[in-house]
């Protein structure tokens, strides 16, 4: 089986110093750690998982059991580094641990490279901060949504307006307002609403209808029956 060259790159997030290695298979594979049938891609995936193990979220806390950490970084002479990865392999109901060793060489960086690396870190932190801010704003908007209630009354019992619409008494509510003719209500706060309309009627000598309109379209209709000398009411 032929293997491709792999590269491992490390960076000190504070000093921005960097190390890199370009490795052939014989540089990290031995008779003790070689996995039968594994390709270069399999090894790369294995190494990535080992490097990232216990590196996310709350696992970065000081309380992490050091015996569970599967990587070790050793300083060598000449500013070199040796990276050791301990990998647990499971196959055919058995498990064993193998170690892979990599030697990393220091990368020569110009001042401009260091500045660019620091700017890259700042940009990453800014992107994360913006994402968290958007999440917080979204949660704040959801939490700020409140229930609103309106109880409107019409005491104009003599007659309706020329279009047969009920004339409402003045409203004092920040989320609702009346039109200039006081025959329509505007909802100023978007959301879902439950509407209840009760109309109390004098005795009806002939039938009629009571309609409820939304944005100019009728959405409910109530047929008023003949009641003779008795009053009646309609509920929509």
pLDDT tens digits for range 42-58: 888 888 888 877 665 44
In a domain, 86, yes or no: yes
187 located within any domain: no
- At residue 235, does pLDDT exceed 80? no
Q: Is residue 145 part of a domain?
A: no
Domain extent, residue 44, equals 6-114
User: Please, which residues bridge with residue 27 across strands?
Assistant: none
Mean pLDDT confidence for 138-145:
61
- The reply to whether 152 falls in a domain is no
pLDDT digits (tens, 9 = 90+) for 175-185: 888 888 888 88
Residue at 95 is within a domain: yes
- Specify if 69 maps to a domain: yes
Q: pLDDT at position 60, please? A: 45
Q: In what order do the strands lie in the sheet with 71-75?
A: 6-11, 18-23, 94-107, 81-91, 71-75
pLDDT band for position 63 (cuts 50, 70, 90): very low
In a domain, 56, yes or no: yes
Least confident range from 69-83, 135-149, 160-174, 200-214: namely 135-149
Domain total of the chain? 1
**What's the rounded Cα separation, in Å, for the pair 130 and 125?**
9
pTM: 0.43
Residue 45 lies in a domain: yes
Q: Give the pLDDT score at 61.
A: 44
The mean pLDDT value of the chain amounts to 78
């Amino acid at each position: 089986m032929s293997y491709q060259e792999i590269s491992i790159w490390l960076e000190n997030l504070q000093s921005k110093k960097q190390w890199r290695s370009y490795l052939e298979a014989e540089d990290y594979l031995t008779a003790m750690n070689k996995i039968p049938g594994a390709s270069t891609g399999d090894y790369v995936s294995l190494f990535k998982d080992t490097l990232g193990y216990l590196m996310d979220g709350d696992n970065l806390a000081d309380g992490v059991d050091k015996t569970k950490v599967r990587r070790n970084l050793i300083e060598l002479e000449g500013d070199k580094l040796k990276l050791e990865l301990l990998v647990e392999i499971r196959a055919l109901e058995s498990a064993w641990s193998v170690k892979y060793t990599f030697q990393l060489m220091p990368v020569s960086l110009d001042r401009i490279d260091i500045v660019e690396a620091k700017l890259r870190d700042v940009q990453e932190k800014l992107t994360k901060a913006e994402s968290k801010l958007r999440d917080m704003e979204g949660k704040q908007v959801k939490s700020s949504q409140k229930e609103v209630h309106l109880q409107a009354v019409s005491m104009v019992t003599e007659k309706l307006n020329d279009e047969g619409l009920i004339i409402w008494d003045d409203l004092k509510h920040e989320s609702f307002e009346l039109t200039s003719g006081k025959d329509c209500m505007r909802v100023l706060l978007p959301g879902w609403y439950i509407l209840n309309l009760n109309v109390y009627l004098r005795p009806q000598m002939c039938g009629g209808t009571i309609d409820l309109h939304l944005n100019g379209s009728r959405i409910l209709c109530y047929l008023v029956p003949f009641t003779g000398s008795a009053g009646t009411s309609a509920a929509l």
